[in-house]
C-alpha cells in the first residue's frame, strides 16, 4: 500500500520524464485530484500555464493519471473516454 503523498511523487516524476519545454515543468493540479477505491486520479498542466493563465502555455490532450493504492502502478488515461469507463478497464 502506498500513501497519497507517495502517489503524488510517483506521478510528478512520471509526467516530467519526457517533458522538455525550456524553463517549464509539469505540475499536479491538487484541487482536481480525486481519491477513488483503486487509488488516486491526478490531473496536471504546465506550471507556466497555471501561473499565467495564458492558454498559449496550456497542455492539450493530457488525460489524467491514475496511481493504484495497492502497488503504485501508474496508468495514463486518455481524454476521449469518460473517467468512470476508463477506470473499469484497469
pLDDT reading at 89 higher than 80: no
| Host domain of residue 30 | 4-88
Burial of 40 (0-12, 13-18, 19+ CB in 10 A): buried
pTM of structure = 0.87
- Give pLDDT tens digits for 43-85: 999 999 999 999 999 999 898 999 999 999 999 887 766 666 5
Distance CA 55, CA 16 (A): 20
How many domains in the chain?
Answer: 1
Amino acid at each position: 500500500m502506498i500513501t497519497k503523498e507517495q502517489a503524488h511523487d510517483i506521478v510528478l516524476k512520471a509526467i516530467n520524464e519526457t517533458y522538455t519545454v525550456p524553463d517549464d515543468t509539469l505540475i499536479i493540479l491538487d484541487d482536481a485530484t480525486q481519491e477513488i477505491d483503486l487509488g488516486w486520479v491526478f490531473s496536471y498542466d504546465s506550471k507556466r500555464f497555471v501561473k499565467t493563465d495564458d492558454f498559449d502555455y496550456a497542455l492539450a490532450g493530457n488525460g489524467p493519471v491514475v496511481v493504484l493504492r495497492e502497488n503504485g502502478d501508474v496508468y495514463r488515461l486518455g481524454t476521449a473516454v469518460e473517467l468512470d469507463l476508463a477506470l473499469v478497464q484497469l
